[in-house]
Amino acid sequence: MKEEYALTTKNLHKIYGQGTDMAVHALKGIDIKIRKGEMVAIMGPSGCGKTTLLNLIGGIDLQTKGDIFVAGKDISTLTDEEMTKFRLFNIGYIFQLFNLFEFLSALENTVLPLFLTKATRFEAEEEAKMMLRQMGLGDKLHQLPGELSGGEQQRVAVSRALLMNPAIILGDEPTGDLDNSTATDIMNLFVSINENYKQTFIIVTHSEHIAQFCHRIIRIVDGEIVEQGF
């Protein structure tokens, strides 16, 4: 019944510098199940392994042990090439800092994932423009990130993450660099997308205020889950 879940991890371990004196056991047997359309926050103190978990789920880092199923697919068996393709079509990323390419306009930043597919330039750009308009950035298509406010920049990042209609959107402190009011706006945007499109969100945050927007909160301390939030 794996397909009911957008994400499942089983006994997930991550050890940095394994086999050396400096080895750090960042994740210690993480088991998580997140349903499709669920909006989950992962919380914990600095260095607890939140970002590491997110990177493993997103397939941009390799686990030391354990299994990860995303949209029913065991991503631990994928080659680098297969993983890259899987990431393109199934994972949307939103980071905290330097989220956009500073030398690309809002439209160009958004359209990038579609440019990696067989879509024509026209199709890709039209879709990206539509997405940006939905985000309220219709008049800022050709602005560079440096010319946008922090909130607008994150909206561009959200547009890019949503463009491929991914199975999961991963947010690593997506509002960490924003003031409270803007952060609330962004989270309201996430909630509305989640509600309207049943889009699964996994958001790493250390802010209780942000976490409250999610359906449940998974808490991690020292690489172990201390609360699943059910």
Partner 1 sequence: MSYINYLVRKTFKRRMGKNIGTIVAITLGVSLMMGVQITITSFGSTATDFFLEALGENDIIITKIPLALNNYTDLFYEIENSGINVSAMNARVRQFTTVYNEEEGQIEQRVPLVGFDFNEDEVFGDLYDENGTIYTQGLLNLLLQDNSSVLISNRIINDIFSEETTQVVGKELLVVLPVINLSAISFEDLFYYKDYNLTIKGIVKNEGKGREGGNRNLWTNIDHLREITGLSELQCTEINIALSADHIENPISSEEAYAAEDILNELLAPIEPGVIIIAIRATALDASEDILNDVLVAFNLFGALIIFSGVLLIVNIQLIQVEDRLQQLGILRAIGSKRREIIKLFLMESTIAGVVGSIAGIGGGYGMSMFLVWQIGKTFFDVSIQLRPIVTIASVTYSLVVGLILSLTSGLLPALRASRVDVIEVIRGIKKVPTKRAGTFSLPLGLTLVVGGITTFVTQSIVQDSYFTSAGWDSSVEQWIFLGAAGAFLIGLSILLGYLFSKKILGNFLGLSLIGLTIVMLMATLPLLNDLAESSKILITLVVLLALSTILFVGVNLRAVTNFIRTIFYRTRLKKAVSLVASKYMTARTMRSTLTFGIFTLVLTMNIFASVYQQTFKVNTLDSVEFYSGGGAIYAQLDIPVSNISGIDVESELLQVNDSITQVQGIKSAIAFTSDLNPVGNESALMIPSGFDLVENDTFKDGDDYVFDFIFSNSIKQFNAEYKPDGSQEYQREYSHKIWDIFYSRDRVNREGYIDNDDGLLTIISTLPFITPGETIFISTLLGWQEFIVLALMLQYPFSLTSMLPKYIATPDVYNILPFSLIVPAPNQYLIKTSEDFREGQNHKIAQDIEYFFNANTSIIRQSGQRVAATAHSVWDVMLETVEFQVKTFDFMQYFVGFGLVVGAMGMIIIAVRNVSERRREIGMMRAIGYKKRQIIESIMLELFILAGLGLFMGLVNGIVLGWAFARLYDWSVVIPLTRILIYTGIMIGVALVASIIPGIRASRITPAEALRYVG
Q: Which of 7, 50, 71, 87 binds partner 1 (CB under 8 A)?
A: 87
- What DSSP character marks residue 213? T
Q: How far is CA 83 from CA 34, 59, 73, 77, 138, in A?
A: 20, 7, 11, 9, 33
DSSP 59-126: TSS--SEEEEEETTEEGGG--HHHHHHHHHHHEEEE-SSS-S-TTS-HHHHHHHHHHTSS--HHHHHH
Query: In sequence order, what are the beta bridge partners of 24?
Result: 16
Footprint of partner 1 on 169-198 (CB under 8 A): none
Centroid of chain to Cα 28: 21
Q: Considering only residues 35, 121, 142, 209, which one is a binding residue for partner 1 as defined by CB under 8 A?
A: 121
Q: From the CB of 73, what's the least distance to partner 1, in Å?
A: 15
Confirm or reject binding of residue 123 to partner 1 (CB under 8 A). no
Choose, by CB under 8 A, the member of 55, 63, 175, 199 that binds partner 1.
Answer: 55
Minimum distance, C-beta of residue 91 to partner 1, in the bound complex (Å): 8
Residue from 189, 219, 188, 184 nearest 205 by CA: 219
Q: Please identify, among the stretches 70-78, 90-98, 183-191, 192-200, the one whose residues bind partner 1 according to the rule CB under 8 A.
A: 90-98
| Least spacing, CB of residue 113 vs partner 1, in Å | 6
Two tokens, residue 25: 């056991």
Asked whether position 84 contacts partner 1 by CB under 8 A, the answer is yes
**Contact pick of 3, 23, 103, 209 for partner 1 (by CB under 8 A):** 103
Is 124 strand, coil or helix? helix
Cα–Cα nearest to 31, from 62, 8, 61: 8
Per CB under 8 A, the list member of 93, 190, 201, 213 interacting with partner 1 is 93
Binder among 28, 29, 33, 61 for partner 1 (CB under 8 A)? 61
Binding site for partner 1 (CB under 8 A): 55, 58, 60-61, 80-81, 84-85, 87-89, 93, 95, 97-99, 101-104, 108, 112-113, 115-116, 120-121, 124, 146-147, 160
